[in-house]
Amino acid sequence: MTTTYLAERMNPDFGFYLKNNRLLTAQQSEWQRIEVFENTQFGRVMRIDDCFMTSERDEFYYHEPMIHLPAIAHSGVRSALVVGGGDGGSVEELLKLPGMERVVLAELDAQVIEVARAWLGEIHHGAFDDPRVEIRLGDARQFIGETEERFDQIVLDLTDPFGPATDLYTVEFYQACKRALNPGGVVSLHLGSPIHLPESMCRIAASVRAVFPIFRPYLQYVPLYGTLWCMGMASDATDPATLSAEAVDARIAERHLRDLQLYNGATHHALLAQPNFVRQLFAQPAQPLRRGDVLEEVRDPSEFPAVRITAE
């Protein structure tokens, strides 16, 4: 019997693999190749352009910190915008927040949402059909640049910064996000890994710092990504570092947040803690990204031939 393993190359010298127990769907949209397959360790896994994106059993390692660390720091999120995030995991976490009145999901590729609807119910839990959710298809950069709407929380749940997506990691895009926030509003994003993409992480951080007076990077190991992952929160006035662990737990209780598998008062502070090597990385000068810039460290997955390992 032949066993197939799917490998993702993080850079020319580093990568990892997952066993493909069964391919459930493989589709080519206008923008990208989308696959969902079953894996004993992770359950159903979504892969886009040969990059592992999310899985049923580890999605909370990524989605809970992205949503709840900034949301708990805020006085009370009522409106939110998710850019990307077509798997529905970020939207589902936002809908847990009491008082949430409206979530806009701005996704470029409708096919990602349709694949998630069909195969990833254990991640989105029907969030796409919640009456508070509005789906906007198309270019998020144009939407944020033109919208007159204002949000308490913006979540940048994006693919990696290569090709056209790089423009969503620039000073200009963060300026547009800032204009779309209510006073005290919060933005969260991922910056990549300090392990295999340290220069890119620091340039993205420098871009956010060029726009927002408060920026707090935080770290979480994400099993599906195979490495330590850096996220960040930015605001004009809201700072998650000012909350004690006890205050975080009190807000979680007051807001009746349930079904959290990772986030609590202790992990809030653990996320914000930085190892010395990460402190040293962020202390180095870094050039903010401007529209048209390219992150040399971040390689388009198409530059790496897809790797499928078979074993008898």
- State pLDDT tens for residues 66-97: 999 999 999 999 999 999 999 999 999 999 99
Q: Can you give the pLDDT at residue 309?
A: 59
**pLDDT (0 to 100) of residue 163:** 76
Provide the 8-state DSSP code for 180: T
pLDDT-derived band of residue 162, with 50, 70 and 90 as boundaries? confident
Given this model, what pLDDT does residue 4 score?
87
* CA–CA gap between residue 81 and residue 309 (Å, rounded): 39
pLDDT at position 303: 58
Six token digits for residue 192: 């990549």
What confidence tier does 307 reach under pLDDT thresholds 50, 70, 90? Answer: low
The upper half-sphere exposure of residue 33, i.e. CA atoms within 13 Å in the direction of its Cβ, equals 10
CA gap 71, 219 in Å, rounded: 17
| CB-based contact 231:220 (threshold 8 Å) | yes
Task: Give the Cα separation of 168 and 190 in Å (integer).
Answer: 11
pLDDT for position 54: 98
Contact 88, 157 (CB under 8 A): no
pLDDT of residue 298: 73
Distance CA 39, CA 19 (A): 6
**C-alpha 227 chain-centroid distance:** 15
Output the average pLDDT for the chain: 93
Mean pLDDT of 227-238: 97
Mean pLDDT of 20-41: 96
What count of other Cβ atoms lies within 10 Å of the Cβ of residue 256?
Answer: 9
In whole angstroms, how far apart are CA 126 and each of 117, 123, 295?
A: 8, 9, 36
Instruction: Compute the average pLDDT of residues 286-295.
Output: 91
Residue 255 in this model has a pLDDT that exceeds 70: yes
Q: CA 229, CA 226: separation in Å to the nearest integer?
A: 9
Contact 48, 34 (CB under 8 A): yes
The Cβ of residue 121 has, within 10 Å, a number of other Cβ atoms equal to 14
Residue 269 pLDDT exceeds 90: yes
Alpha-carbon span 178 to 144, nearest angstrom: 10
Residue 305: which pLDDT band, with cuts at 50, 70 and 90?
low
How far is it between the farthest Cα atoms of the chain? 60
Question: pLDDT class for 295, splitting at 50, 70, 90?
Answer: confident
Q: Work out the average pLDDT over 181-205.
A: 96
CB 84 within 8 A of CB 66: no
pLDDT of 297 over the 80 cut: no
Sequence-ordered strand ranges (E) for 131-180: 133-137, 151-157
pTM: 0.94
pLDDT at residue 165 above 90? no
Q: Which residues contact 257 (CB under 8 A, 6 or more apart)?
A: 68, 96, 97, 98
Structure confidence at residue 171 (pLDDT): 97
Nearest to 111 by CA among 24, 33, 167: 33
- Is 58 one of the annotated active-site residues of the chain? no
Q: Which of 40-49, 144-153, 160-169 has the lowest mean pLDDT?
A: 160-169
pLDDT at 173 over 70: yes
Q: Which of 50, 58, 157, 167 is catalytic?
A: 157
* Among 80-94, 198-212, 271-285, 297-311, the least confident range: 297-311
Q: What is the mean pLDDT of residues 239-248?
A: 98
Residue 310 has pLDDT above 90, yes or no: no
The pLDDT score that the predictor gives to residue 136 is 96
